[in-house]
């Protein structure tokens, strides 16, 4: 009889993260909230509901200190989160000790002030998207296409074309569908609009907001170009140094969240495995919401792709009730 394999489970470090948050609250007199997103996940629209679940119980002042760590995600999601935060707080101060890229950069642009540590960076926010008609990689997965990449191909062709050369699109369309070109151009326009709207939550000079938006969307050679403290100042963002004490505490939190988000794969055989990874954490005093992937994966050889099965992924909530920690699922559809 084949032995049943028990799936690995990631550690839930609520007690440890709460101790660090309690120490931060002794240094920061205002409200403090964390938004930590694994490199295997991204900011999404549904996150705003998780934010609301915590904010409705934990607002105690007019100012919020928001710790953000993410590689990016949905610009629309970032806008909705900023809009929600502004319903609760007059002033928002973003705390950035490490990576805060793409849509996460959009998110912190909604703060009155951005405090950056020595390891911190923002990034360009030029849009890339994965369309149903995008090209596929060697694993038969759709790849993302960015406006910057497409523009550079066209510009390179224009700078080196010969008299006999025809329109470059005839050669590009067999690889990139025309509708992908249109979708990427539309997404870029949307990105500029979202960025401008987010900045307008606290900037009265709309012309300056538009200038910053176009700069972040168009003026960098790479989507992942790291915008460090000096560059952020040059752009015109209100950035200040993060104190060493707070920076060290946030790095400690980052370490705990990273431990929670460690890969929790359980291999059943060469074609099947289980994924039990924690992807996001939103936390305040006495309350923690986290999203946990919890599903099987099966490899379909003929299709050359992995497909999910038995998906029990969900948001989960830890809450301190008197002397006891209560854990339950938090359903979002």
pLDDT at 237 (0 to 100):
96
Give the lowest-confidence range in 97-106, 159-168, 208-217: 159-168
Q: What is the mean pLDDT of residues 238-255?
A: 97
pLDDT per residue as tens digits for the range 180-192: 776 666 666 778 8
14-124+220-330 sits in which CATH class?
alpha beta
Of residues 218 and 294, which shows the higher confidence score?
A: 294
Question: Domain spans of the chain?
Answer: 14-124+220-330, 128-184
Residue 312 is encoded by which pair of tokens?
A: 């029990």
pTM: predicted TM-score of the whole model, two decimal places: 0.86
Q: How confident is the model at residue 2 (pLDDT cuts 50, 70, 90)?
A: low
pLDDT per residue as tens digits for the range 121-136: 999 886 665 667 677 7
Given a cut of 70, whether residue 267 has pLDDT beyond it is yes
Of residues 197 and 151, which shows the higher confidence score?
A: 197
Give the lowest-confidence range in 131-140, 178-187, 209-218, 309-318: 178-187
pLDDT at 131 (0 to 100):
62
Averaged pLDDT of the chain:
88
Q: What is the mean pLDDT of residues 61-69?
A: 97
Whether residue 141 contacts residue 249, with contact meaning beta carbons closer than 8 Å, is answered with no
Q: How confident is the model at residue 321 (pLDDT cuts 50, 70, 90)?
A: confident
pLDDT at 100 (0 to 100):
96
pLDDT at 23 (0 to 100):
97
């Amino acid at each position: 009889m084949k032995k049943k394999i028990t799936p690995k489970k990631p550690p839930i470090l609520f007690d440890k993260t709460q101790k660090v948050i309690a120490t931060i609250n002794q240094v920061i007199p205002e409200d403090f909230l964390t938004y930590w997103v694994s490199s295997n996940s991204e900011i999404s629209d549904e996150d705003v509901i998780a934010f609301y679940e915590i904010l409705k119980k934990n607002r105690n002042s007019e100012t919020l200190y928001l710790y953000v760590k993410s590689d990016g995600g949905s610009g629309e999601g970032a806008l909705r989160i900023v809009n929600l935060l502004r319903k609760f707080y007059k002033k928002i101060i973003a705390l950035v000790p490490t990576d805060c890229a793409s849509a996460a950069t959009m998110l912190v642009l909604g703060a009155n002030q951005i405090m950056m540590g020595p390891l911190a960076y923002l990034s360009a926010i030029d849009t890339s998207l994965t369309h149903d008609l995008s090209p596929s990689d060697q694993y038969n997965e759709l790849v993302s296409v960015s406006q910057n990449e497409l523009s550079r191909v066209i510009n390179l062709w224009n700078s080196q074309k010969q008299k006999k050369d025809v329109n470059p699109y005839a050669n590009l369309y067999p690889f990139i569908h025309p509708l992908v070109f249109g979708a990427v151009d539309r997404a870029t326009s949307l990105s500029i609009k979202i960025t401008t709207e987010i900045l307008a939550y606290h900037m009265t000079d709309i012309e300056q907001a538009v200038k910053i938006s176009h700069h972040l969307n168009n003026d960098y050679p790479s989507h992942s170009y790291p915008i460090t403290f000096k560059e952020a100042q040059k752009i015109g963002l209100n950035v200040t140094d993060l104190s060493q004490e707070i920076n060290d505490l946030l790095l400690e939190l980052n370490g705990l969240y990273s431990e929670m988000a460690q890969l929790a794969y359980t291999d059943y055989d060469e074609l099947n495995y289980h994924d039990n990874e924690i992807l996001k954490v939103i936390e305040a005093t006495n309350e923690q919401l986290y999203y946990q992937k919890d599903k099987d994966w099966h490899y379909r050889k003929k299709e050359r792709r992995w497909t999910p099965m038995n998906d029990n992924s969900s948001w989960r909530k830890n809450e301190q009730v008197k002397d006891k920690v209560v854990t339950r699922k938090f359903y979002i559809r």
